[in-house]
Amino acid sequence: MHGGVAEWVLDQYEPDFYAGLAKKGTVTEPLAMPTKVYGRVVRGGSWEEDPAHARSAAREFSIPDWKMQDPQIPQSIWYLTDAKHVGFRVVRPLRVADQAERDRLNLEPLPKDLIKE
């Protein structure tokens, strides 16, 4: 998992965000809600980083240069952005959360076909 690509996460990058949380005591769901396009967090390091940064706690922030596009006209079918070191992971729960857990986590209601009567 480490050293592949850095993983997009939902947070807005704020340099002192975790220091501010430490003053609040125990925080169960730390999230810096995004308010801007840039300065979004990627975690985990990548193949492009030094080994010391290829760890889950490593984080950096997005910049406009990551969206630079292939200048070829016509564009190559193999075209990528300039952020080849960033990706995402698809995660699936092991089990379907019941309605009480969905309410607690602020998830969408269970689909009708999954409700057991």
Q: How far is CA 34 from CA 9, 16, 37, 114, in A?
A: 10, 15, 8, 32
What is the distance between the alpha carbons of residues 34 and 8, in angstroms, rounded to a whole number?
13
pLDDT tens by residue, 29-80: 788 888 988 988 988 878 888 888 888 788 889 888 887 766 666 766 666 6
pLDDT tens by residue, 6-26: 888 888 998 888 888 888 888
Q: How far is CA 115 from CA 29, 58, 93, 112, in A?
A: 28, 40, 17, 5
Kindly state the DSSP code that residue 101 receives in the 8-state scheme: H
